[in-house]
Amino acid sequence: VREHPVVVFMKGSPAQPLCGFSNAVVQILRLHGVEDYRAHDVLQDPDLRQGIKNYSNWPTIPQVYLNGEFVGGCDILLQMHQNGDLVEELKKLGIRSALLDAEKDQEKK
């Protein structure tokens, strides 16, 4: 979780999520323009699936880590997206949210 600024433990892959919650996390990250992140498919390794739950003390997948810190699952990431916190957290990682550029484009119209 510390090797990359954004790490997601999910079911499936970003190209082919295998559950709705994992898909939602991928879509939220995509909305913000976050393409460079590490994704780990927990369905490929039962030990990883259980191990990450134990590590975070969080019972569900997907799990999102920003800068090595556990953020939460789909519900938390969605809430952060909705209230603007995700833009700020990404900024701390040196990632400019694509939504900021989209807002500027809207203001020009």
Q: Which residues are annotated as a binding site for [2Fe-2S] cluster?
A: 19
Q: Where are the beta strands (DSSP E) in 60-107?
A: 63-66, 69-72
Q: How many residues does the chain have?
A: 109
Cβ proximity of 64 and 37 under 8 Å: no
Dist CA 57 CA 53 (whole Å): 6
User: What residues are designated binding site?
Assistant: 19
